[in-house]
Amino acid sequence: MLNPLSSSQWNYAMAAHLLNRAGFGGSPADIEKLADLDHDQAVSSLLDYENIYDPTPNPVWATPDPDRLTKLRADIKAATPADAKQLQQQENRMQAEHLNELRGWWFNRMANGPRPFQEKMVLFWHGHFATSIEKVRGTPNSTYLMWRQNELFRRLATDNWLRLLIETGKDPAMLIYLDQALSQKEHPNENFAREVMELFSLGEGHYTEHDITEAARALTGWSYDRLNQKFIYRPGIHDDGTKTVLGLTGNLEGEDFLAQIVKQPQAARFITAKLWNYFSGQFPSDELNTALAEVFRYNGNDFKPFLRVMFRCEEFYGDDIVRNEVKSPVQWLVGSARMLESELPPPFICNAITTSLGQTLFAPPSVKGWDGGTAWITTNTLLDRYNDAVTLVMGTAQQLTASDFALKQGGAGGQKLARLAQRIQVGGVKVEKILTPEERADKDSIVASLQHRLFQTVLDTSQQEALREFLDSKQQLSDADILTTIRLMMSTPEYQVT
Amino acid sequence: MKNEITLQTRREFLRTTVLGSALSWTVPAFLADTFAALQGEAADSSTQIVTGKDATILVVLQMAGGNDGLNTVVPYSNDFYHNARPKIGLSADKILKLNDDIAFHGAMGGFKNLYDSGNLAVVQGVGYPNPNRSHFRSTEIWQTASDSDKIEKYGWLGRYFDNACNGADPAVGVVIGNQLPESFFAAQPKGICFDNPQNYRFMANNAATEESYKKLNELEMSSPLPDGGPAMTSDDNANSGSSIGMLPAGMPMQGGRAIDFITRTALDAQQSSDEVRNIAARVQNQATYPVSPLGNSLKLVAKLIGGGLPTRIYYVSQGGYDTHSNQLGTQNRLLQDLGDSMKSFVEDMKAQGNMQRVLVMTFSEFGRRVNENANGGTDHGAAGPMFIVGNKVKAGLLGRYPSLAPQDLFQGDIKYNVDFRSVYASVLESWLKTKSAPILGKQFDPLQIV
């Protein structure tokens, strides 16, 4: 198991597969560049991203701001009730604008940044350690907290399992999201203690209810400093009695509990199975999972060497894996932009699109993250994919309605955004960028070239005929007709898989 | 006998009505079933005919996150209750009394109203043996009606579709939202999903584009199949054969190709979108609903019922019940929304003249811990109440309120008195008029609800 793919099997199709999965795909030129490398070099060109300079600046507001918050609080206190309400509303509006910027900042890193693999890992950790602004919003400077967590995932994207668990456990957004910030020795809050075992590290059935109540005791004292917007340990609310968690007894602290988790062989099985599923689209067999977990433990629970083995192994390039994964909404959006060499729409439209398809960045539906796979596809989201293709390709957002923008806030603001979206041009595909004049002049070449770019495989004969018929129905092929052809290709079951 | 038939298009296939009943897996389940029904081969007595005009309808309402039952149906005269909840226990001015012991949360005026008019049954202390306190596992148990130590592949509503809705079109189950709940997972997946009927269509700028879209999304009956072609024999049946035909809706892929799942969904979408959109545009609501996601969902369900969509099961949900901290405000807002939305829905159904046909059933994955925590919240618990709304319900308080005495608790949680599957059994037998044992795996004593 886990033997490297033989060099004779490494080709354009496999390079496309690697780029789709370990990144967000690319143009035919991007794929050719990768295919020209050895398999080993190709994997390394994605995984060893530390060697690539990423010039993306941080958002200007991405910093703790105790002075501003202290002043705001004093101003609110001193104001009349009506003025106080207005101040608070102003603050909320600013946080909402920052959140919009934050989404754009991340979409841009995924779609245009030089380190697609690192961003793909950040997306993995965001879905894994799922934390939602919907709850964090109640805490001052909430957008900064979401950014900070996102940066944590970027910094530790391929780092060490225990370090990730500890730093995520102490991350302000997580402390708030799973109520750890509020927990104290009298009646400890069990939320984080439970979910860290059930969803983050071991899985249901690998711990007892008693482990949860004991772990919750060990974790007391982990708290949040609201003024300085960082983790703080408060000895006064820590339970320093003896606890027993997962077989370990003593005056345990939060770190001891998380270290005890990582000592369980199940912790390696759990996270390697989840990574395999995220990147391959399938659940590993027991045998494969055992092999994956072994590699991971052998490498001291570090992710980078494990992932290198994963992207090198022949199992990853099997028939059951290649072109058999449903694109996530983010992959669909970002991957389309990379593939079509087009600009992303403005952040609020990107967000409306992925939201309508079932994935809102910084607002996963629950602490379990997104189910993924075929759960992305319902009659509703499939038609939305077909329609959202118009926005990406034509650069008009006319099919987006107020409800797509209203998100979860019951309708407020949706109308305004929808009207705005209908007025602006939002990127769109440039025909001259993706078809040479020679290809453009011949209808068969148009279908062949677009098919190669969008699917890296051939469509069913009847589908090719349908596309050819569409082109034939046009007297003189305008750019709009070609863009409609691309939109139609994206409105197929085939485009939804990668 | 075995006929080898190769069809070029779905329309051609639809015109060919002389087919045998056994269809290969590339044919969507509902089409296979429709042909089976046309041939009279599925005229099993348990098969339900859905016309959209007269059949009974079940609306399932999920209260996601684990609703605190003790502060919903409140044992207000019980000292154990007030002792366990010094901060969040509800005092006499924050409740709506039903009798000397039990009251509704004060925000549930809508429910009180339905209770007084005989349209609401409250099933007390509902749960299951060996309760699980994980949101996800406990939700799965409720959705699949499994024992807590068993994993079931399919949902209880999915098994209802499989057992009793042969020949129905995909709209026999409708989910308002954009994810199919696990209760819909089925051997022969049925059910459509949408939250905004306005967008529930392929938007084309002209007829040629629309025509091309249809062709691109047709079943590829001309492609070679694993067994060499669609073998149509009359002694097979539609759900035999390849594992791909067994792929449950929305379930993570376990073998089979993702593309087959998507192709079938594409066809279901094409089939249902015109009708849904027309109904939503044509039918007017006859009640005013709260402006909330739940209010909007029930508003849409009311329209679809009024428009005669051939649906037996509607599924809506309301989230936010995971109140580990500052529970009072959150739960107040949610229960207010729930009661008001439900009251509007009932008014709408009555105005439509459809109230006789509709039953609403709520559930939540668990109740919460009897003792409050230090953050004005409650942690995950066990049993809780269910609400059943309808014209023909056995209105009032059903079952017994579980004891709150410390010696009667298990790990700080109340014990259940009614297995939720007894409620499902009653809904299936008395309301949907089908046998419950094949769907629930065994015979549960139906609680008399209807």
Integer Cα distance of B343 and B449 in angstroms: 19
Q: How many residues does chain A have?
A: 498
Angle at A410 between CA A406 and CA A411, to 5 degrees: 45
Per the model's pLDDT, the better-predicted residue between A97 and B253 turns out to be: A97
List, in order, residues 6 or more apart from A414 with CB less than 8 Å away. Answer: A401, A402, A403, A404, A405, A406, A407
Query: Searching chain A, which residue's CA lies closest to the CA of residue B260?
Result: A493
Integer Cα distance of B72 and B330 in angstroms: 12
pTM of the model: 0.83
- Are B252 and A189 within 8 A, CB to CB? no
Task: Kindly write down the DSSP assignment for every residue of A127-195, as one continuous string.
Answer: HHT---HHHHTTSTTHHHHHHHHHHHHHHTTTSBHHHHHHHHHT-HHHHHHTSGGG--SSS---HHHHH
A387 at the B interface (CB within 8 A)?
A: yes
User: Could you tell me if A165 and A257 are in contact, meaning their C-beta atoms sit under 8 angstroms apart?
Assistant: no
Integer Cα distance of A206 and B140 in angstroms: 18
Residue range B268-326, pLDDT digits in tens: 898 899 899 999 999 999 999 999 999 999 999 999 999 999 999 999 999 999 999 99
Task: Kindly write down the DSSP assignment for every residue of B167-209, as one continuous string.
Answer: T--GGGEEEESSS--GGG--SS---EEES-GGG-S---SSHHH
Identify the pLDDT of residue B24: 34
Q: Which residues of A touch B276 (CB under 8 A)?
A: none
B247 at the A interface (CB within 8 A)?
A: yes
Runs of H (alpha helix) within B283-396: 293-306, 327-352
Q: Is the dihedral of CA A68, A71, A76, A80 positive or negative?
A: negative
Angle at B44 between CA B40 and CA B45, to 5 degrees: 125
Q: Is the pLDDT of residue B14 over 60?
A: no
| For testing contact with chain B, the best of A325, A380, A457 (most B CBs within 10 A) | A380
pLDDT grade, residue B2 (50/70/90)?
very low
Query: Searching chain B, which residue's CA lies closest to the CA of residue A182?
Result: B375
- Are A378 and B265 within 8 A, CB to CB? yes
| For testing contact with chain A, the best of B185, B195, B212, B222 (most A CBs within 10 A) | B212
Q: Which residues of B touch A386 (CB under 8 A)?
A: 202, 213
- Are B375 and A379 within 8 A, CB to CB? no
- DSSP 8-state secondary structure symbol assigned to residue A239: -
| For testing contact with chain A, the best of B253, B292, B410 (most A CBs within 10 A) | B253
| For testing contact with chain B, the best of A378, A481, A487 (most B CBs within 10 A) | A378
| For testing contact with chain B, the best of A379, A455, A462, A486 (most B CBs within 10 A) | A379
Query: Searching chain B, which residue's CA lies closest to the CA of residue A216?
Result: B379
List, in order, residues 6 or more apart from B168 with CB less than 8 Å away. Answer: B30, B33, B48, B50, B161, B190, B310, B312
Query: In one letter, which amino acid is A415?
Result: Q
- Are B199 and A384 within 8 A, CB to CB? yes
User: Could you tell me if B65 and B321 are in contact, meaning their C-beta atoms sit under 8 angstroms apart?
Assistant: yes
Q: Note the ipTM here.
A: 0.93
The token duo for B202 is 């392929």
The token duo for A237 is 């609310």
List, in order, residues 6 or more apart from B295 with CB less than 8 Å away. Answer: B289, B337, B340, B341, B344
User: Could you tell me if A68 and A56 are in contact, meaning their C-beta atoms sit under 8 angstroms apart?
Assistant: no
| Look-up of token digits 């072109």 | A323
Cα A303 to chain centroid distance, Å, stands at 17
Residue range B69-100, pLDDT digits in tens: 999 999 999 999 999 999 999 999 999 999 99
Identify the pLDDT of residue A287: 98
A281-305: b (≥16 Cβ within 10 Å) or e: bbbbeeebbebbbbbbbebebebee
- Are A324 and B196 within 8 A, CB to CB? no
Mean pLDDT of B35-56: 49
Q: Could you say which of A379, A408, A496 has the minimum Cβ distance to residue B272?
A: A379
Integer Cα distance of B323 and B442 in angstroms: 34
Integer Cα distance of B186 and B250 in angstroms: 10
- DSSP 8-state secondary structure symbol assigned to residue A196: I
Our CA-based measurement puts residue B370 at a distance from the nearest CA of chain A, in whole angstroms, of: 12
Our CA-based measurement puts residue A50 at a distance from the nearest CA of chain B, in whole angstroms, of: 34
- Are A470 and B209 within 8 A, CB to CB? yes
Q: Could you say which of B175, B259, B272 has the minimum Cβ distance to residue A494?
A: B259
Identify the pLDDT of residue B228: 29
A408 at the B interface (CB within 8 A)?
A: yes
Integer Cα distance of B344 and A381 in angstroms: 29
Q: Could you say which of B134, B250, B259 has the minimum Cβ distance to residue A493?
A: B259
Strand B2-4 and strand B231-233: the pairing is: antiparallel
Q: Which residues of A touch B196 (CB under 8 A)?
A: 401, 403-404
Cα A481 to chain centroid distance, Å, stands at 33
Integer Cα distance of B225 and B231 in angstroms: 10
- Are B265 and A379 within 8 A, CB to CB? yes
User: Could you tell me if B356 and B391 are in contact, meaning their C-beta atoms sit under 8 angstroms apart?
Assistant: yes
Per the model's pLDDT, the better-predicted residue between B22 and A409 turns out to be: A409
Identify the pLDDT of residue B219: 55
User: Could you tell me if B366 and B381 are in contact, meaning their C-beta atoms sit under 8 angstroms apart?
Assistant: yes
- A234: exposed, middle or buried (C-beta count within 10 Å: 0-12, 13-18, 19+)? middle
Task: Kindly write down the DSSP assignment for every residue of B92-116, as one continuous string.
Answer: GGGEEESSSSEEEETT-HHHHHHHH
pLDDT grade, residue B169 (50/70/90)?
confident
A298 at the B interface (CB within 8 A)?
A: no
A460 at the B interface (CB within 8 A)?
A: yes
Q: Could you say which of A188, A372, A399 has the minimum Cβ distance to residue B203?
A: A399
**Mean pLDDT value across chain B:** 82
Integer Cα distance of B311 and B272 in angstroms: 12
| Look-up of token digits 């929304």 | B337
Integer Cα distance of B309 and B303 in angstroms: 9
Residue range A388-440, pLDDT digits in tens: 999 999 888 766 666 666 544 444 567 777 777 777 777 789 999 999 999 99
Closest CA to A103 of A403, A359, A389: A359
Identify the pLDDT of residue B240: 26
B262 at the A interface (CB within 8 A)?
A: yes
Identify the pLDDT of residue B35: 40
Residue range A122-162, pLDDT digits in tens: 999 999 999 999 889 989 999 999 999 999 999 999 999 99
Q: Which residues of A touch B266 (CB under 8 A)?
A: 382, 493
A380 at the B interface (CB within 8 A)?
A: yes
On the CB side of B110, CA atoms within 13 Å amount to 22
A151 at the B interface (CB within 8 A)?
A: no
Q: Is the pLDDT of residue B51 over 80?
A: no
Angle at B324 between CA A260 and CA A209, to 5 degrees: 40
Closest CA to A450 of A426, A475, A429: A429
Query: Searching chain B, which residue's CA lies closest to the CA of residue A406?
Result: B293
Our CA-based measurement puts residue B356 at a distance from the nearest CA of chain A, in whole angstroms, of: 30
Closest CA to B51 of B145, B133, B168, B138: B168
Identify the pLDDT of residue A406: 59
Residues of chain A with pLDDT under 50: 407-411
The fold of the B44-195+243-440 domain, in CATH, is: Alkaline Phosphatase, subunit A (3.40.720)
Q: Which residues of B touch A326 (CB under 8 A)?
A: 253, 258, 262
- Are B411 and A209 within 8 A, CB to CB? yes
- Are B293 and A410 within 8 A, CB to CB? yes
Identify the pLDDT of residue B34: 42
Strand B358-363 and strand B73-75: the pairing is: unpaired
Query: In one letter, which amino acid is B143?
Result: Q
Q: Is the pLDDT of residue B225 over 70?
A: no
User: Could you tell me if B398 and B124 are in contact, meaning their C-beta atoms sit under 8 angstroms apart?
Assistant: yes
C-alpha distances in angstroms, B66 versus B16, B69, B133, B318, B368? 50, 9, 9, 11, 7
Residue range B117-168, pLDDT digits in tens: 999 999 999 999 999 998 888 999 999 999 998 888 899 999 999 999 987 7
pLDDT grade, residue B28 (50/70/90)?
very low
Identify the pLDDT of residue A405: 67
Identify the pLDDT of residue A426: 76
Closest CA to A370 of A354, A382, A383, A384: A354
